[in-house]
Amino acid sequence: MRTTKTIYRVFVSLLAALIVAGLASTRAIAQDFEGPDASSGSSLPSLGEGSRGFELETPAEAGAQPIPSSYVLPLPQPVPPFPILLNRSVRRYVSDFMTSPYHLQDTFDRSHPYLQDMVRVLRSYGLPDDLVYLAFAESEFTKQGKGPWQFNSDTAKRFGLRIDNYVDERRDPVMSTKAAAEYLATLHDEAGDDWPMTLVAWNNGDRAINRYWSLRGHNMERFGSRLPRRTRGLMGRFMAVAYIAHHADSYGLTPIKLDDPPAYEMLPVTGGTPLSRVALNHGTTLEHLRELNPALLRDVVPPDEQSYNVRIPVASASAEHVEF
């Protein structure tokens, strides 16, 4: 009996101790949640002056990288110039071009109406202005056949250009530049921001980066000597044209102005409208519209389109829409 009473007293004492400890813990939790007592002399940091609130990092701030997918336009920012090398090979191409400077001047004149829009597209993809001269090296800025950038049909369609019986957008200087810019920006990323390797891949296909990477070194002439002849030629012509364009005055050529406003406006025209009707309505000629719209293979707006943008000389672009 005495033993039972002793056990009971111990049990009651333990229960009382647990109750006291629980009350103390509850007060501590409440104090942590509500903040320190005003009498303690400290205060919570304010979310007003001198505070940025919670220091939570976004994934980008924490250094996370997006999963590679299709190319995403970078934010507008100053773009470093393309690294033009004036080595022996490039000097030979400069000399070759200047044996017939009038031919090169004709090429520059042919491109002038489109250069401002082409450069604007390159800049929107974070690419240097000088890449516009790659089209000169590829084709002497032709608007015939495969167009200024010389896309094959598969690559052109891959980057959104339309090719059918009515339209070949490879031949349009601005549309094809958008496709070229996306392709070049993608290759530049894959090449680790290495511009010479980017041009090698441009000329030889996406897989060329892996194929030629082991040949890449600090000596560009040695690297160039290991490339296919067509690639060496393209890179030499490109850098020569860019160099001449930067020093046009010194070579007796008209200075190249990349920021001159275009002498045309874009006009949405109803599908199926003959270009002759558009020319008549806007005081221009059919020949002029053909020149400004080289992507149109026939003298008619594609009939399967509800409307299609047609270039109209600035002085003629008075109406907003043309109905057949």
Distance, in Å, from the CA atom of 277 to the CA atom of 283, rounded to the nearest integer, reads 10
SS3 state at 273: coil
Distance, in Å, from the CA atom of 275 to the CA atom of 75, rounded to the nearest integer, reads 38
Distance, in Å, from the CA atom of 284 to the CA atom of 301, rounded to the nearest integer, reads 16
What residues does 267 pair with on adjacent strands?
A: 310
What residues does 296 pair with on adjacent strands?
A: 167
pLDDT band at 17; cut points 50, 70, 90: low
Residue 233 confidence (pLDDT) = 93
SS3 state at 265: strand
pLDDT band at 86; cut points 50, 70, 90: confident
* Mean pLDDT of the region 149-169: 96
- Helices then strands, each counted (H, E), the chain: 12, 2
For the chain, domains (ranges, CATH) are 88-251 (1.10.530.10), 264-316 (3.10.350)
Distance, in Å, from the CA atom of 59 to the CA atom of 54, rounded to the nearest integer, reads 15
Distance, in Å, from the CA atom of 175 to the CA atom of 33, rounded to the nearest integer, reads 61
pLDDT above 80 for 216: no
* Mean pLDDT of the region 102-109: 94
pLDDT band at 285; cut points 50, 70, 90: very high
pLDDT above 60 for 168: yes
Residue 291 confidence (pLDDT) = 94
Of 131 and 226, the structure prediction assigns the larger pLDDT to 131
- The tens digit of pLDDT for each residue in 18-77 reads 544 444 444 433 333 333 333 334 332 222 333 332 222 222 333 333 334 344 444 445
* Mean pLDDT of the region 289-298: 96
The full length of the chain comes to 324
Of 37 and 185, the structure prediction assigns the larger pLDDT to 185
pLDDT band at 212; cut points 50, 70, 90: confident
Residue 83 confidence (pLDDT) = 80
pLDDT above 90 for 244: yes
Residue 211 confidence (pLDDT) = 81
pLDDT band at 252; cut points 50, 70, 90: very high
Residue 8 confidence (pLDDT) = 52
Distance, in Å, from the CA atom of 131 to the CA atom of 164, rounded to the nearest integer, reads 28
Contact 184, 79 (CB under 8 A): no
End-to-end CA distance of the chain: 115
pLDDT above 90 for 87: no
Distance, in Å, from the CA atom of 313 to the CA atom of 316, rounded to the nearest integer, reads 5
Distance, in Å, from the CA atom of 197 to the CA atom of 220, rounded to the nearest integer, reads 11
273: Cβ contacts below 8 Å, ≥ 6 apart = 300, 301, 322, 323, 324
- Bridge pairing between strands 264-270 and 307-313: antiparallel
Residue 80 confidence (pLDDT) = 64
Cα within 13 Å of Cα(156), Cβ side: 23
Return the top range by mean pLDDT from 28-42, 154-168, 182-196. Answer: 154-168
SS3 state at 205: coil
Average pLDDT value over all residues in the chain:
78
What residues does 310 pair with on adjacent strands?
A: 267
Neighbours of 22 (CB within 10 A): 10
Of 172 and 61, the structure prediction assigns the larger pLDDT to 172
What residues does 308 pair with on adjacent strands?
A: 269
Question: Quick one: what percent of the chain has pLDDT higher than 90?
Answer: 56
Distance, in Å, from the CA atom of 134 to the CA atom of 250, rounded to the nearest integer, reads 21
Residue 119 confidence (pLDDT) = 95
Residue 283 confidence (pLDDT) = 93
Residue 181 confidence (pLDDT) = 97
